[in-house]
Amino acid sequence: MRNNIAGIVASLPEADCAEISKLSEEIRVCIAAGRFDWIGELATAVFAQAVNKGAETGSYELILDHAVRALAEYPSVESLQTLLRIPSTLGSSKVERDRGERRLASLVAHGQHAEHIERVLFDTSSESAHSQNFLACLIQELVLSSVVIEQYPKVISFAERLISERHPLGVLPLRLLPEEEVLRRPPDAAPDWTWAVPPGSTTVNLPQELLPGSDHELDIEIAETSVPESANAMAAAVNHWRTQSNGRVVAQDFWTADPIAREQFPDIFKQLPLAPWNSEPSQARLYPSTLDLTLRTLLSAATLRPAYGPGLYGAYGRLATWQSLGGLTGCPADTPVTHIAEVARGAYWFRTDIKSAWFYEVAWDLSVAVLRPGGQEIAFLAATDTD
């Protein structure tokens, strides 16, 4: 079977689940035996046949995906070299190729040793079927995997090029910021440990203290100051919920004539004309939060799949998260991430529940609020999606 690649590929459109499973097992056997060239030839032939036929590609996609994943998750120089030579997806559009490379970067960062990655992927003489953007994503995926990038000079050199060439990911730090330390896996973590926060949840790993406020309204002038630019920035981490799925997003800014203290925020919050509760007499229940919890919430929303379509994966998910934090804290669009973090540390963060007809309450709901430094500016972000 291993030598009859043409026959295997030709039979894939009619293959049943048992045959697909058998071929997947064959790939695993070849990986264990170090037969990377055979897997590379198979993946290349699958891609070529799928492109030439232009017909149903389900079986082709399954086998190509299994080959890519198997190579990416097997830590060796040879598997990486083979992976460089094959496409990561059957998609031919720029959007599809970009998504495939984002996913591939995540798989490689989690499956391969950093020293092998530097040697194979960041050597200037390496030949690759993948774009510069793949390597840019890979650097950030390594950062999120707690790799100390400073130990790898070729990776640093490439990262400096990204900055000089104004690549979108070039603005991200090459090490985890203090607020991102919660993403680092503890040495004694359980097998199912994750930093991800279920969107909308106020019961799983979240503060339980309800902030009820008082029974009277504060006599403070409040004005909504929302503008499209700010709303778009705040929504960066969840924008794909509405562009590729059934999601909807609300992002609002408010200004108060007098500064308010953190303990006054629940009373002011009840007076805000928040879009998800505009047609209902009761306002959202308010919970305290922290910057690192808000970051986890937004990063979870950015990286995990919405109801339809993929997530942004780690690299662009991290970028979108800091863009949202920049919008929520009122920072200009070109503010460095490190400065956004400084401003965000001086803000007060909150979460609300999702008990409103506006939220679908299926599995994708999010609602956060922030009182910015100075006490006169409030930002609110809510998102929901459904299948």
> For the chain, which residues score pLDDT lower than 50?
1-2, 200-206
Report pLDDT for 13.
Answer: 80
Report pLDDT for 127.
Answer: 62
* 30-51 pLDDT tens trace: 999 999 999 999 998 888 888 7
Report pLDDT for 344.
Answer: 98
Helix/strand/coil percentages in the chain, nearest 5? 50, 10, 40
Q: For residue 249, what are its two tokens?
A: 């997003």
Report pLDDT for 201.
Answer: 45
Neighbours of 240 (CB within 10 A): 24
Q: Are 49 and 9 in contact (CB under 8 A)?
A: yes
Give, to the nearest 10 degrees, the angle between helix 36-53 and helix 17-32: 150
In angstroms, the CA 269 to CA 267 distance is 5
Predicted structure pTM score: 0.90
Q: For residue 359, what are its two tokens?
A: 């939220």
Report pLDDT for 128.
Answer: 66
Map tokens 């799949």 to a residue. Answer: 305
